[in-house]
Structure 1
Amino acid sequence: MTASILITAAYLLGSLSSAIIVCRLMGLPDPRTQGSNNPGATNVLRIGGKKAAAITLIGDSLKGFIPVLIANLMAVEPLVLAGVALAAFLGHLYPLFFGFKGGKGVATALGVQFGIGWEIGGTIALIWLFIAKGLKISSLAALISMALAPVVVWYFWHAPELITMHAIMSVILFWRHRSNIQKLLEGSEGKINNEQEPAGKE
Structure 2
Amino acid sequence: MKRILIMAASLLLFFPTTTQAHTYLNDSNPQAGADVGQPVKEIILYFDTKVEPQSTFEVVDEAGEVYQTSSTNIEKNVMSGTMTERLTTGTYTVNWDIIGADGHLIQGSFSFDVHADQPRPEQEANGEAQGENRSTSVEHTRSEEQDGTEIDEEKHAESLESDSTDTKTLSQNASSHAHQEQSFPFITMMSIIVLLGGSSFWYVSRRSNG
TM-score, normalised to structure 1, is: 0.24
Larger Rg computed on CA atoms: 2
More helix by share: 1
